[in-house]
C-alpha cells in the first residue's frame, strides 16, 4: 500500500516482469540423425496426427536462382538421409534436375510442462533420385487415394475438375471390381536428401532458444552451438 498526501490509500503498482531465460539443450549426440530421431519419435508419440511429425518444407531452386518451397511428407528416415516422394513432372523435380541441392525444414510444435515446446530442424545438402527397388515398399504402402492420385493427376498442370473426378471414379470402380492393380506410374519418383548441414533449434515457453549446428566433413559430423 502507498499512503498518499491527503490520506488516500492507493494500491502499489508493481512493474510487470515478463518471463525470460536462456534455454539449454542438455544432451547433444555426436550424430545429428540420432537427435532428429529422438525429436521425430517424440513428436510422433505425442500427437495423433501423422502429419505433425512428418510434414516438412522443401526448398529448391532453379539454375537461375529462383527459389520455391512447398510442404512434403517424409516417407522414410535413413541413417544418411531423408526420403521424399513426388511427381517428376513437377516444378520441384524440374528444379532438382537443374540444381540437385535442397533444404528441408521440419517444425515440431508440442508442449512441455504446460508450456509450448518449439523445435525446428533444418537439413541442407545434395539430392539424389532413388532407384525403385530402394523404395518400392514405400509405394506399396501408399493409401488408395494416393495411388489413384498418381494416375489421375499431372502435378501442376491445369485441370478440369469434373474430368478429374470422372477419371478418379472410373479407376475406383475398377479397383472395387478387382479388375486392375494400381502399379506405380513411371513419373512417381523418390528422392533422398543427403545433408551436409543439420541444425536444431529448441525452446520452451518464453526463453531464448538454444541452437546447435552440425556440419559434415566426409563421414564425420562436427557440431557447434550458435546464437538464436
Ligand atoms: C501436408 C501436405 C503434404 C504434402 N505431401 C506431398 C508429398 O509427399 N509429395 C508431393 O509431391 N506433394 C505433396 N504435397 C503437395 C505439395 O505441397 C505441392 O503442392 C506439390 O508437390 C507441387 O509442388 P511443386 O509445384 O512445387 O513441384 C503436400 C501438401 C501438403 C499440404
Q: Which of 54, 69, 73 to mutate to test the pocket of ligand 1 (most atoms within 8 A of CB)?
A: 73
Mean pLDDT across 45-50: 87
Alpha carbon 2 to chain centroid, angstroms: 55
Mean pLDDT across 193-197: 98
Q: Please report which confidence band the pLDDT of residue 7 belongs to, taking 50, 70 and 90 as the band edges.
A: low
Ligand 1 atom 29: residue of nearest CA:
71
CA of 72 to the centre of ligand 1 (A): 5
For the record, the C-alpha cell of 18 comes out as 515478463
CA of 87 to the centre of ligand 1 (A): 9
Are residues 89 and 123 in contact, defined by beta-carbon separation less than 8 angstroms? no
Ligand 1 within 6 A of 102 CB? no
Are residues 102 and 59 in contact, defined by beta-carbon separation less than 8 angstroms? yes
Are residues 87 and 201 in contact, defined by beta-carbon separation less than 8 angstroms? no
Burial 98-125 (b: 16+ CB within 10 A, else e): ebeebbbbbebebeeeeeebbbbbbbbb
Q: Please report which confidence band the pLDDT of residue 48 belongs to, taking 50, 70 and 90 as the band edges.
A: confident
Q: How many CA atoms lie within 13 A of 127 on its CB side?
A: 26
Predicted confidence at residue 5, as pLDDT, reads: 55
- Sequential DSSP letters for 90-113: SHHHHHHHH--EEEEEEEEEEEET
CA of 71 to the centre of ligand 1 (A): 5
Ligand 1 atom 14: residue of nearest CA:
72
Ligand 1 atom 19: residue of nearest CA:
70
Q: Is residue 11's pLDDT more than 80?
A: no
Superfamily of domain 19-140+189-226: Electron Transport, Fmn-binding Protein; Chain A (2.30.110.10)
Domain ranges for the chain, please list them. Answer: 19-140+189-226
Predicted confidence at residue 12, as pLDDT, reads: 80
Q: How many CA atoms lie within 13 A of 99 on its CB side?
A: 18
Percent of the chain with pLDDT over 90: 88
The Cα–Cα gap between 210 and 200 comes to: 8
Are residues 187 and 87 in contact, defined by beta-carbon separation less than 8 angstroms? yes
Ligand 1 within 6 A of 216 CB? no
User: Could you report the per-residue pLDDT of 73-111, keeping only the tens digit for each?
Assistant: 999 999 999 999 999 999 999 999 999 999 999 999 999
- Lowest average pLDDT, out of 9-13, 119-123, 172-176, 195-199, goes to 9-13
CA of 29 to the centre of ligand 1 (A): 32
Amino acid at each position: 500500500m502507498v499512503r498518499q498526501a491527503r490520506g488516500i490509500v492507493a494500491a502499489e503498482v508493481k512493474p510487470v516482469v515478463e518471463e525470460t531465460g536462456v534455454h539449454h539443450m542438455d544432451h547433444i549426440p555426436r550424430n545429428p540423425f540420432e537427435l532428429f530421431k529422438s525429436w521425430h519419435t517424440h513428436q510422433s508419440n505425442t500427437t495423433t496426427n501423422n502429419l505433425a511429425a512428418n510434414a516438412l518444407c522443401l526448398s529448391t531452386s532453379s539454375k537461375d536462382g529462383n527459389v520455391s518451397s512447398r510442404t512434403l511428407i517424409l516417407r522414410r528416415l535413413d541413417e544418411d538421409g531423408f526420403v521424399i516422394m513426388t511427381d517428376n513432372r513437377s516444378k520441384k523435380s524440374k528444379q532438382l534436375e537443374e540444381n540437385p541441392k535442397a533444404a528441408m525444414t521440419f517444425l515440431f510444435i508440442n508442449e512441455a510442462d504446460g508450456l509450448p515446446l518449439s523445435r525446428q530442424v533444418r537439413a541442407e545438402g545434395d539430392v539424389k533420385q532413388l532407384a525403385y527397388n530402394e523404395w518400392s515398399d514405400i509405394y506399396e504402402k501408399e493409401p488408395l487415394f494416393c495411388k489413384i492420385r498418381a494416375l489421375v493427376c499431372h502435378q501442376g498442370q491445369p485441370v478440369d475438375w469434373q474430368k478429374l473426378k470422372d477419371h478418379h471414379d472410373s479407376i475406383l470402380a475398377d479397383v472395387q471390381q478387382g479388375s486392375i492393380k494400381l502399379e506405380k506410374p513411371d513419373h512417381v519418383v523418390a528422392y533422398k536428401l543427403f545433408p551436409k548441414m543439420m541444425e536444431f533449434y529448441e525452446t520452451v515457453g518464453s526463453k531464448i532458444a538454444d541452437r546447435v549446428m552440425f556440419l559434415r566433413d566426409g563421414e564425420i559430423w562436427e557440431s557447434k552451438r550458435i546464437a538464436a
